[in-house]
Every structure is written in structure tokens, then in C-alpha cells.
Structure 1
């Protein structure tokens, strides 16, 4: 069926929302998927709970950046390919322009020492923001379901222990709930196995090509977008291995600065690829790196989207989606702890994180950018004193 369901919003309104989210949405993928649920499902009722859960499940199943894929799917829900395309562009472009500007400043002014001060405060505040986002997401999607809670806790523990998101566990969680709640008559597994088996081979084919710098950048970041599952948290080790260890494009210090840029700018954390690309090959490098990373995630979303829409209400699919959603939120909760270990490094950062949680808990309408701006200011004032103490 190709007819568009009745909507209570226009495509232009949706584009403006994601343009704003891409401009002001701090906190990385964990917070961003929480904002989308709060704003589009809860407050505006533009997207149904079922459509949101389908989008989150698809974004978690497919490789690539989580928040960008969910945004693309939500654009697809009522406005199909045009909506998915324009929403994806609106969501990514603001933060891309910011990291390119920061890349230019970094190259021309010999590094950005003020970033350490800003990130000191912002990194701690972001923990508070994503804790609250995860709490709301868990409460809404997992509820009091004991089976989903077991999956949630298992994935949270695995993410904390491994510091990565194990893709096959998402699928296993979906299959488990599917078999327990809506057993299939003709279960099939060959398709998943064959696709999974072909991925390392495809990666090897890409990796063996001898090409010019821009093409090398394009191929490497296509692999990052096409073969890395989970959120921005998952892609960082992959980027480090290629950018620093394998290709020697950046030093350790430059790479850490690139990750800091991703954390102190709004929008998807994966946009750090634009900053990295700029340091390696200027604006062309930034453009190629960003396009190569986000194009696979766009295709991995819009190609299967019609099938998710068509079969999303089948009991077996609903059960499968519930299992994957619980696994996804569990992994998100685990990633909060992993990120916190890197961002909360002393008493002041712990205090900033706790105050952020308290403010968001007390004042439901408080906008996150206000907290981020205040934390950045605190970082600028306090970090120089602490670092020289």
C-alpha cells in the first residue's frame, strides 16, 4: 500500500523539528532517541508508539548511527522517501557545519585547548541528561514486563562489561520474545546467517583496494557506516583503529579532540567523522567522510522500511520488535555507565551530573541546551583551576 495515512502535521513542520534537534540536541544518541520519543510521540502525537518502536528496532538491527537512522525512519512513517531524505539531511547538516567550522579553527589556531574546559563541564551534564532520557524510555517501553526486564538487564550488563554493543544479542532477544509469545509456524534463519556471513567478506574486499586519499577516506568511512552496529559509542573504537592505528591520519591527541568535538556539539555523535575528515583532507575530506558514513545508514533504513510498515502489526513481528526494543534500551542504559566512567572523573563532575539529573527531574519543561550552556560555563571557569592545582 502506498497511500499516506492522515497526519496532524506537515512535512515542513517535521523538517523544522529535526533541523532544530540537529542544532540544539545535545547528549548523543541516547539522549536524541529520548527527545524524539518525548517530543514526537508524547507531546505532539505526530508519531504513534508502535511506529516509534518499529523505527527504534530497525535502527538497532541495522548497522550505522542509531539516532540518524531513527530520524530517517520517523521521516518515512508518513512522508515515505521524500520525508526520510529531507529529515535525514535536516538532522545531520547543522552539526556537520559546526564540526567543519571547529575543524577550520583547530587547523588555524593550533588545537583547541578551551575544549578540555568545556568538555569537562558538558561531559558531566550530558550524563545527567542521558540518565533521564533513558529512564523515560525504559518506563515507557519496558514497563513492568518481566521478560523484557530480563532482556533489558542482560543487555545493559553486556554493554557495561564489553564496552560495546553486541549486535547478535539484539536479534536473539527479538527471536526469544517472538518464539515465547507468538511462535512462528515456519521459522527461517538462512537469510540472517547468509547476510552476517557475507559482511566480513565485503569488508575485506573494501579493505584491499589501493586508492587515492579521498577515495581511501570514502571507503573507510563507508565501512564505518555499513559494518558498525549501535550508537556513536560503538563507532569510536572502529574509527580509532582505522584513523590512528592503520592509516596514521591523526595522532592520539587529535583523535581525542575529535571525540570531544562530537560530544560538545549537538546532533549525532557520529558527526565527528566530519571533523576527522576535515583534519585529514580539508572540506572535501569532511564532505566525503560524512556522506560515506551516513549514506549506508540511509539505505539500510529506507530499503527495509516498507516491509516494517507492511508487516509491523503481525503478532510475531510485534513480539520480535518488543524483544529488540528491550535489548536496545538495555544497551543504551549500559552505554550510559560506560560514558559516565569517562566523563565523571572527580567530585565536581559528579556534582554537575547529579545537579543536572535533579533539575530535569524537578522541572519537566526545562530545555537541555540551558543545562549544557551552564555546564560549559562552569567547565570554563573551574577546569583551569583544577588542572593547575
Structure 2
């Protein structure tokens, strides 16, 4: 973000395996060569963060040998601590290691750019043509499949995350807090972090998390302040711009503020944060309907890049439907662009600001406990998301009843869509029993949705 940190690559040279001979070590890549690789990763980055991280490991470590294994794992551990898409932040970190700030910017931007362009095109296509029978059937099928996708993600993440009984308790409490008490997602994250830090400090004698010790750049206070100030100014610039042009309370200022807040609480990936987006964008702002949240997630699953690009779809529809002085199409493009900016600029800020301190952060034991608790809470939040999506896919009408502080969702059983139920079950069986891939399941469900629309 500032050229003063471009010495990052030079100061990291001692992280290379000393046992490797000079002949075995490839020369450092040029900036252009690295840019071509980051673009390739951005275009091929399907399969969510696990697939994207594996792709980076194969290309950067195994094939190019630009970074050693220890440094890659250390960077990955740091990125897992941060809010936001960890795969995109890992690409930014690796780019920073190789070519400083310019390299980090290029790597992070090219990781997101292909997917964001595809998502913008799909958003335009949906907004203009979604009422056509063919397109309506396609998205009908995708919505049903996405319920199965979220359930599969819930099972996969819970197996990896809930390693101790206390984590299961935190997951259950977080689910109850958001589903029955309508507690905001950021509050759940803060409470889980405080609980995890307390447990780690007072119950566990020491952290059992493995530490990867590598050399890090010596932090410089003034440089950190400069990066922080510039990053914050860039991050908030769209909000200030639209507030000055259109005043507070317009669609684009609301989009900027909402997604800027979201960027600091997106622990646990897109599935976790979607519960908060659904709560706010659907129920509070009214930017889109519950079924459209499912459509956006399905589209994000079919594009390269981070799954969090679903937020671009949400903001596009918000700007398209309330464009202010702009036309609907221009309003949608502006809204989607503002969401991209306020979501991803802080990802660069976390890396450029935090990377010099990464070694110190890895040894803060209470932070390890806080983050493990946050990860456990995310499981409960994703369970809430799965139930919320399922109710709104399977039933045409879902009401809310409050009994004091407790909220209950009460679907009208007479509005059950049996075809949607059958398609959802089929998608779940395909993914969980037959282990069909994500794209195959989504494609099959889309075909099924089109058939249903034309035959009924």
C-alpha cells in the first residue's frame, strides 16, 4: 500500500532452506512473471479456499519453488487469524514476500479480479433476465442445491473445528444466540473471542497450537502508522465520496458503511458471514429477498476467486433497485464496485500492516484461544444459515413469532414446495452420499430446476 515496505522481500531472504544448494534454488521471479502466475491462479481458483490454497501450494511451492514450505505455512497460519478471505490474503502475503508492496497488490488484485468480473456479468444477467422461464428455472434449481452445499460445508467445518467439548458448547450457544435471540453476528464473534481468551488463560496451562518459527521483518512503528492511515483513508473513500455527493442515508453510502463493517468481522469465511448479511441486507435494508441470497451464493460457487464475492451480487441488486441519480444498470455496477472496494481494501491493509508483526502474534497464547473459540462459534452460525436457507427455499411463507426475547420461525406448512424439497434432497444425496463435485451438483440441479419450470 506504500512503497516504503517493499523491502519486505529483501529482508525475508534468510527464510530459504539453508540446506538447499545455490544450484537447486531457482532465481527469484520477475514482477511480470509473478503477475502471470497470480492471474492464472485467479482464473483457476475454483473450489473454495481449500482448493485455492492447494492450487497456490502446487504452483508456488512445488513447481516454481519461489517460497519454502515453512514460510508458506507460516503465512497461511497468519492469514487464518485474519477476518476476510484467507486464500486471497495468502496470495497477497506471498506476493509481498516476493516483491514487497507492489507484489502484494498485484497478487491480491489478480486473485480477485477474474471472479469479480464474472460475478458482475452474472449479476447483470440475473437482474435483467431472471423473470424469463428458462432463467427462473435455472436459478430455482441452484437455490435448492445451495441448501445442500451449505449442509455439506457445515459437516466438513464442524469435523475440522469441534475438537474439544468446550468448542461444541460454544457452537451450540452461538447457534442459539443468532437463531433464537437474533443476536448480531459481530456480537457473537466478540463474545466467543472473549470466552476463548478467558478459557485459554485460566483453564489451559498453555496453548497446544503448533508454532512455526520463521524470520520476520522487524516492525517499524512509523511505517505501521503510515500504512494504517493510508489504508483507512482508502478504505473509507467511497463512503465519504457518496456522503458528500448524495448525503447520508443513500443506497451507496449504506452499502459502503455496511460492507466496511462486515470486513472486520468476517471470521470463518463466507458461509459464516452470510448469516449476518441475510439478517441485515434482507430483513433490515430490504435490498433483496431470501431466495436471492441463495441465488447469489450459488453464482459465487460457480465462479473462480473467493466465495465472499457473493457480497458483490448483494450490493449489485441494492444499487440496481435503488440507483438514485444513476440508471439501474449503472447503479448496480456502482453498488457492486463499492462493496468490492470496502470488502477487499482492508484485506490488503491487514497484510501490509500485520506481516511485520506476524511472529509476535503467533506467540500470543490468549489470541490462539480467542481464535479457536471464534472458529467454533462459526459452526453454530453456519447451522443457523443452513436452517434459514432451508426454510425459505422449501416454504413460500415463513413467519416470525416473538415470545419475549425468543424468536421462532414458523413456516406455513401449507406452502411447502414438494418439488423444491425433492430437488434439495437429491442434491444432498449427490454431495453427501455419492460425493459428486460442487459444480456437477449445481449444474444438475439447474437442469432439474429448468425441467420443473417447463413441466409444471
Common fold, TM-score beyond 0.5?
A: yes
The residue aligned with 1:32 is none
Would the aligned equivalents of 2:38 and 2:110 in 1 still touch at CA under 8 Å?
no
Shift in alpha-carbon separation, 1:259–1:361, aligned structure 2, 3 A? closer
1:277 to 2:296 alignment = no
The residue aligned with 1:179 is 198
**SS of residue in 2 equivalent to 1:58:** coil
Per-residue CA deviation, residues 71-126 of structure 1 (Å, 9 max, x unaligned), is 432322322332223223333221112212333446xxxx4454443333221211
The residue aligned with 2:372 is 322
Would the aligned equivalents of 2:242 and 2:252 in 1 still touch at CA under 8 Å?
no
Shift in alpha-carbon separation, 1:302–1:328, aligned structure 2, 3 A? farther
Ranges in structure 1 where 5+ consecutive residues have no aligned partner: 26-34, 60-65, 185-201, 245-249
Equivalenced residues, count: 334
1:118 to 2:138 alignment = yes
The residue aligned with 1:36 is 49
Distance in 2, Cα, partners of 1:104 & 1:214: 28
Distance in 2, Cα, partners of 1:157 & 1:357: 24
1:303 to 2:349 alignment = yes
Q: CA deviation at 1:332?
A: 1.7
The residue aligned with 1:336 is 386
Per-residue CA deviation, residues 212-260 of structure 1 (Å, 9 max, x unaligned), is 499944312102212345523422453357765xxxxx8xxx7578546
The residue aligned with 1:187 is none
**SS of residue in 2 equivalent to 1:303:** helix
Would the aligned equivalents of 1:214 and 1:288 in 2 still touch at CA under 8 Å?
no
Distance in 2, Cα, partners of 1:260 & 1:179: 37
**SS of residue in 1 equivalent to 2:258:** helix
Distance in 1, Cα, partners of 2:331 & 2:49: 30
Distance in 1, Cα, partners of 2:139 & 2:168: 33
1:79 to 2:149 alignment = no
Would the aligned equivalents of 1:37 and 1:52 in 2 still touch at CA under 8 Å?
no
Q: CA deviation at 1:330?
A: 2.4
Computed over aligned residues only, the root mean square deviation of the Cα atoms, in angstroms, reads: 4.0
Would the aligned equivalents of 1:121 and 1:376 in 2 still touch at CA under 8 Å?
yes
Matches for 1:165-244 after TM superposition, within 5 Å: 165-182=184-201, 209=243, 211-212=245-246, 216-228=250-262, 231-240=273-282
Distance in 1, Cα, partners of 2:329 & 2:168: 46
Q: 2:124 aligns with which of 100, 110, 125?
A: 100
Shift in alpha-carbon separation, 1:384–1:214, aligned structure 2, 3 A? farther
1:148 to 2:182 alignment = no
Shift in alpha-carbon separation, 1:353–1:261, aligned structure 2, 3 A? closer
Give the TM-score, by structure 2 length: 0.61
Distance in 2, Cα, partners of 1:181 & 1:297: 31
Shift in alpha-carbon separation, 1:20–1:156, aligned structure 2, 3 A? farther
Query: Over alpha carbons, which structure has the higher Rg?
Result: 2
The residue aligned with 1:88 is 112
Would the aligned equivalents of 1:217 and 1:285 in 2 still touch at CA under 8 Å?
no
**SS of residue in 1 equivalent to 2:109:** helix
Distance in 1, Cα, partners of 2:183 & 2:376: 17
**SS of residue in 2 equivalent to 1:354:** helix
Matches for 1:127-138 after TM superposition, within 5 Å: 127-138=147-158
The residue aligned with 1:63 is none
Which structure's residues are more often helix, by fraction? 1
1:349 to 2:416 alignment = no
Would the aligned equivalents of 2:148 and 2:427 in 1 still touch at CA under 8 Å?
yes
